[in-house]
């Protein structure tokens, strides 16, 4: 009964896109780019069949539903199961081992937030190492920076790159860019043998789970003995840090924050709402150099360094994203649980489709 009430409340409170609540330019652009109109995407059918919904458990007793048009592709590698869905609101969506990774309509919110703050704060980033990022979107954002000379995508699963190259739109130029080097390996193993120092290391890997190959990329020993030694003196590490909602942030966000605080002198957490996730997402920057976040300076860097324009971020939004609400700030101040190989925590959010 309790679950039913919560789902009913969510349905009542979360308006449909055609009702005008999401009167945003990105939605209009998505319709235009994909030759759609609102009538074509309206919910004409009663989708009561479970097969037509992507179901995500985002918290205890709370599930997030996304309408599915069709399953475009399913693949199983030696590492994980990959599914590409065509959804009724968010375009194509990539699901790995039951976890929603990204959707075409709003992926830029996540990837701009992941990439640009650290690259704008760094004085002159030239080489960037992306842990994961096989979809190509993080590298796409990195390549917008004029000073960048080399981008490494270190993806453990070749099938992720193959699937995205074949089915996802707008990233072919990224994979074909001469500055991009794709390596298929575990990020920890690759970094251990990497010889050159790196300006920016980006963690764009799956949340920890019982079956995830990324669990060892969130622990103190990895940050201390692998990531930090590979950064240049003024280098910055940034990682996605899972859900960052008022009720969901304690499963990963606050734990990654306190773990990085054990290793780096300066650590900054920030968040943004990613609509397709049904929750806020968190990222954390870490460095042994001060991390200065000043809106006017960031706008100046965007004007000087970025080719083209950003769809989501500007200096003020980046600065505002670091202002955490009281429950999050309290958790980050009081958290003491440090992630190690022996006590890694798993994130809720597995889906059924």
- Do 131 and 246 fall into the same domain? yes
- Domain annotation covers residue 352: no
Pick the last residue of a domain from 88, 103, 118: 103
CA distance 13 to 31: 24
Task: Please name the residue ranges forming H helices in the chain.
Answer: 2-13, 25-33, 38-41, 107-121, 137-142, 158-167, 172-176, 187-193, 220-222, 228-230, 253-261, 295-305, 315-321, 326-334
Instruction: Say what percent of the chain tops pLDDT 90.
Output: 72
User: Does the pLDDT at position 152 exceed 70?
Assistant: yes
pTM for this prediction: 0.86
CA nearest 279: which of 255, 242, 243, 312? 243
User: Does the pLDDT at position 289 exceed 70?
Assistant: yes
Q: What CATH number does the domain containing 22 carry? A: 2.30.140.10
For residue range 206-224, what is the model confidence (pLDDT) as tens digits? 888 777 888 999 999 999 9
For residue range 35-62, what is the model confidence (pLDDT) as tens digits? 555 555 444 444 455 568 988 887 778 8
- Do 86 and 111 fall into the same domain? no
Predicted pLDDT of residue 318: 98
- Do 244 and 337 fall into the same domain? yes
CA distance 90 to 106: 7
Contact 66, 91 (CB under 8 A): no
Q: How many CB atoms lie within 10 A of CB 189?
A: 13
Tell me the average pLDDT of the chain: 87
- Do 120 and 57 fall into the same domain? no
User: Does the pLDDT at position 3 exceed 50?
Assistant: no
- Domain annotation covers residue 59: yes
Q: What CATH number does the domain containing 314 carry? A: 3.40.50.150
User: Does the pLDDT at position 173 exceed 80?
Assistant: yes
Residue that wins the pLDDT comparison between 105 and 349? 105
- Domain annotation covers residue 18: yes
- Domain annotation covers residue 40: yes
Residue 94 forms beta bridges with which residues? 84, 102
pLDDT band at 28 (very low <50, low <70, confident <90, very high): low
Q: Among the listed ranges 53-62, 129-138, 182-191, 319-328, which one has the minimum average pLDDT value?
A: 53-62
From the list 59, 97, 157, 204, the catalytic residue is: 204
> Taking residues 101-124, what's their average pLDDT?
97
- Do 97 and 114 fall into the same domain? no
Predicted pLDDT of residue 353: 31
Residue 318 vs residues 115, 140, 268, 283: alpha-carbon distances, Å: 11, 19, 12, 12
Q: Among the listed ranges 44-53, 89-98, 163-172, which one has the minimum average pLDDT value?
A: 44-53
Q: Which residue's entry shows tokens 């809720």?
A: 348
User: Does the pLDDT at position 115 exceed 90?
Assistant: yes
- Domain annotation covers residue 353: no
Number of domains in the chain: 2
Pick the last residue of a domain from 52, 80, 103: 103
CA nearest 115: which of 89, 95, 145, 87? 145
Contacts of 170 (CB under 8 A, 6+ apart): 140
> Taking residues 185-200, what's their average pLDDT?
97
Pick the last residue of a domain from 103, 118, 147: 103
For residue range 224-274, what is the model confidence (pLDDT) as tens digits? 999 999 999 999 999 999 999 999 999 999 999 999 999 999 999 999 999
Per-residue tokens: 75: 């693949």
- Do 63 and 149 fall into the same domain? no
- Domain annotation covers residue 75: yes
pLDDT band at 12 (very low <50, low <70, confident <90, very high): very low
- Domain annotation covers residue 81: yes
- Do 222 and 177 fall into the same domain? yes
pLDDT band at 350 (very low <50, low <70, confident <90, very high): very low
- Do 215 and 336 fall into the same domain? yes
- Known catalytic residue: 204? yes
Q: How many CA atoms lie within 13 A of 246 on its CB side?
A: 3
- Domain annotation covers residue 246: yes
Which residue range(s) make up the domain with 296?
107-347
Per-residue tokens: 120: 């704008």
- Do 153 and 82 fall into the same domain? no
- Do 92 and 153 fall into the same domain? no
Give one DSSP letter per residue of 63-112, joined into a string: EEEEEEEEEEEEEE-SS-EEEEEEETTTEEEEEETTEEEEETTTHHHHHH
- Do 187 and 312 fall into the same domain? yes
- Do 45 and 152 fall into the same domain? no
Contacts of 245 (CB under 8 A, 6+ apart): 58, 59, 279, 280
The backbone torsions φ and ψ at residue 333, rounded to the nearest 5 degrees and listed phi first, read -70, -30
């Amino acid at each position: 009964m309790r679950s039913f009430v919560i789902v009913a409340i969510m349905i009542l409170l979360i308006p449909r896109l055609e009702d005008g609540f999401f009167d945003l330019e990105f939605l209009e652009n998505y319709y235009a780019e994909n030759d759609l109109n609102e009538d074509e995407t309206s919910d004409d059918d009663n989708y009561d069949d479970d097969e037509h919904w992507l179901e995500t458990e985002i918290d205890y007793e709370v599930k997030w539903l996304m309408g599915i048009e069709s399953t475009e592709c399913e693949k199983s590698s030696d590492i994980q199961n990959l599914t590409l869905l065509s959804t009724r609101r968010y375009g194509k969506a990539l699901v790995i081992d039951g976890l929603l990774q990204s959707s075409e309509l709003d992926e830029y919110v996540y990837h701009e937030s992941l990439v640009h703050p650290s690259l704008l704060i760094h004085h002159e980033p030239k080489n960037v190492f992306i842990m994961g990022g096989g979809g190509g979107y993080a590298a796409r954002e990195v390549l917008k920076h004029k000073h960048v000379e080399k981008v490494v995508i270190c993806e453990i699963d070749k099938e992720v790159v193959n699937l995205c190259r074949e089915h996802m739109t707008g990233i072919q130029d990224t994979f074909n860019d001469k500055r991009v080097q794709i390596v298929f390996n575990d990020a920890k193993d690759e970094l251990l043998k990497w010889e050159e120092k790196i300006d920016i290391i980006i963690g764009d890997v799956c949340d920890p789970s019982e079956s995830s190959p990324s669990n060892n990329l969130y622990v103190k020993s990895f940050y201390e003995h692998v990531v930090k030694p590979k950064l240049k003196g003024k280098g910055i590490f940034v990682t996605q840090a899972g859900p960052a909602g008022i009720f969901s942030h304690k499963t990963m966000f606050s734990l990654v924050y306190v773990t990085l605080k054990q290793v780096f002198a300066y650590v900054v957490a920030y968040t943004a709402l990613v609509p397709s996730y049904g929750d806020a997402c968190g990222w954390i920057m870490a460095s042994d150099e001060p991390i200065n976040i000043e809106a006017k300076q960031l706008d100046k860097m965007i004007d000087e360094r970025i080719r083209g324009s950003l769809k989501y971020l500007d200096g003020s939004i980046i600065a505002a994203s670091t202002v955490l609400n009281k429950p999050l700030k309290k958790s980050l101040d009081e958290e003491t649980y440090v992630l190690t190989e022996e006590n890694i925590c798993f994130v809720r959010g597995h889906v059924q489709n």
